[in-house]
Amino acid sequence: MKRLYEKTPSEDMVNVDTVYLRNIIHECGVNQSEMSIALGFCPEYLSNSVGDGRMNKEILRLLSDMLDFPYEEALAKKKKTKKHKKRKK
């Protein structure tokens, strides 16, 4: 079983849509702990990853294959940042 404290290089991580992933897992009739174990991780893995909003790319791909959802749908949508106007003096 893989441990949570094993560090994953940040370039292998992606931001995920937490609401989407929680809903997909729930719709499959399992909880995050059960799905974590099915993936070969400790029970807290998905709860922590989804809660943090970041997940390893390969694990997300594996999860998308297992639960049959599009990988891209689980990626967090980029927020548009507002450009601040410079104040006139």
Question: pLDDT digits over 79-88, tens only?
Answer: 655 565 666 6
Place of tokens 């599009």: 70
| 89 in any annotated domain | no
In a domain, 69, yes or no: yes
Distance of alpha carbon 21 from alpha carbon 3, whole angstroms:
21
Residue 64 lies in a domain: yes
pLDDT at 73: 92
Residue 18, domain extent: 10-74
**Residue 82 falls inside a structural domain:** no
Distance between CA atoms of residues 36 and 60, nearest Å:
12
The answer to whether position 84 is within a domain reads no
Q: Is 83 helix (H, G, I), strand (E, B) or coil?
A: coil
Q: Are 48 and 13 in contact (CB under 8 A)?
A: no
Identify whether 61 is part of a domain: yes
- 3-state SS class at 12: helix
59 domain-assigned: yes
Model confidence over 46-77: pLDDT tens digits?
Answer: 999 988 999 999 999 999 999 999 999 999 88
CATH number at 54 reads 1.10.260
Give the total number of structural domains in the chain.
1
Find the Cα–Cα–Cα–Cα dihedral 62, 66, 71, 73, rounded to 10°. -140
